[in-house]
Amino acid sequence: MGWLFCKDWNRKQTIDNCTRNWETVDEYGNLVQSTCIAHCYRGNAFSGVLWTVWERTFTRNGVEGRPTERWIGCDLLKYYRGAPYRDQGWGYKDMEESMGPCYYSCPKKYLDMVPLDQAGTNPEWRRMVQAYHAQKSAKKKSGKFSRFSLMTS
């Protein structure tokens, strides 16, 4: 999948678009409702990653038609200005856990919100997320200064 560029959108509008709930009717007549139940942005003023947890329900005449599904989304966000794009604004590239994104700053609690038995989970990617957080925690415990701690002293 490629990038979707949104002319004149700011970061907040892009995040609002990427986390907007939606619904449709599937080929079996089920009402399919997808709801963003958690999201956070990790990045800076010009680019970052939007982590989301989605829940999808399937109902027909008020009765569950299929089991509820959950998944972790990983949307890359970036600000574009000028060539090769005519205008400026934010763009995004949507991915999900099953694609094994090369980004590991997903909140650990999101892993707990989507059990491994859900379709589309990626155990190897989850190990990398856990390793990322363990390394980050070890650096904090070692007392090494980060660029952020130097700015506040």
Question: Which amino acid does the sequence have at 145?
Answer: F
Closest CA to 58 of 69, 47, 43: 69
**Average pLDDT in the 2-28 region?**
91
Q: Is 100 helix (H, G, I), strand (E, B) or coil?
A: coil
Task: Provide the 3-class DSSP secondary structure of residue 4.
Answer: strand
Report the C-alpha gap between 42 and 51 in whole angstroms.
8
Q: What is the predicted pLDDT for the residue at 8?
A: 80
Q: How would residue 137 be classed by pLDDT, with cut points 50, 70 and 90?
A: confident
Answer yes or no: is pLDDT of 82 > 70.
no
Mean predicted confidence (pLDDT) in 46-75: 94
**24: which 2 tokens?**
């449709």
What residues are paired with 24 via a beta bridge?
Answer: 32
Maximum mean pLDDT: which of 3-7, 66-70, 116-120: 66-70
What integer pLDDT is reported at residue 81 of this predicted model? 76
pLDDT at residue 153, as a whole number: 33
pLDDT of 34 above 50? yes
Beta bridge partner(s), residue 50: 41, 75
Over the chain, what is the mean pLDDT?
87
pLDDT of residue 87: 65
- Select the more confidently predicted residue: 82 or 72: 72
Question: What is the Cα–Cα distance from 114 to 36, expressed in whole angstroms?
Answer: 13
- Sign of the alpha-carbon dihedral angle for 9, 15, 21, 22: positive
DSSP state of 118: S
Whether the Cβ atoms of residue 48 and residue 68 lie closer than 8 Å to each other: no
